[in-house]
Amino acid sequence: MAQDYFRADHTGMLREALVIAEEMTSDYFKLTQAHWLRARFDVSTLAGLKQQEIAPDALAVVAKYHGRRAGRSLSSATFDFYRICLQDHNILRLLTERRGLCLLSLLSYILTHELVHIVRFSQFAVSFEASAEERGREEQRVHALTRNILAPLRFLDLPPAHCVIDHFHAGGAGNAHLRV
């Protein structure tokens, strides 16, 4: 099956959504720049994903890696690095199926949702290696937080995105986190 990838116009919208997600998440949790230096992350689209980062039924997956500063061998020099793996093929399919859905709204919601996960992992509010049962409860908490974070942004037209996210949440919670 051929995979659909984001085009240039999609990546421009992605950059805009990431700015919204970072600013709103930082404001909500009152995060400083120092926090993001400890909770390092990157965002990748389907074209840049490894095979194990591709999910058939998720809109995004958070992968966790362990990094080490160059020239350091002590375990104290390691750090967690999170990668938000956007599933272009699923996002684009969803936009085709749900004509009234806005890409900026959907990407803003997805990215904010994944950043909330990263914040909660980095603040030890929840374990990345949580059980399936705990992951389900955590998904509920993160969805509620994401809605609260984005609620002030009336221009995003989030209600259609909420309906879609609720549908994906029901089937894709098992793919939410990936230990690589």
- How many angstroms separate the Cα of 112 from the Cα of each of 66, 72, 106, 148, 151? 22, 33, 10, 11, 12
What's the pLDDT score for residue 37?
A: 82
What's the pLDDT score for residue 57?
A: 87
Radius of gyration of the chain (CA): 16
What's the pLDDT score for residue 174?
A: 47
Q: Is the pLDDT of residue 176 over 80?
A: no
**Residue that is written with structure tokens 């909330």 in the block:** 116
Tokens of 129: 């290696």
Distance CA 78, CA 20 (A): 29
Q: What is the pLDDT of residues 68-90, one digit of tens each?
A: 777 777 777 788 999 999 999 99
Instruction: Give me the chain's average pLDDT, please.
Output: 86
Distance CA 38, CA 80 (A): 8
What's the pLDDT score for residue 177?
A: 52
Q: What is the pTM of this model?
A: 0.87
Contact 55, 98 (CB under 8 A): no
Contact 116, 84 (CB under 8 A): no
Q: What is the pLDDT of residues 7-46, one digit of tens each?
A: 999 999 999 999 999 999 999 999 998 888 888 999 999 9
In this predicted model, which residue has the larger pLDDT, 104 or 68?
Answer: 104
Which is it for the CA torsion 133, 175, 173, 63, positive or negative?
positive
Residue 67: pLDDT band with limits 50, 70, 90: confident
Domain boundaries, the chain: 8-179
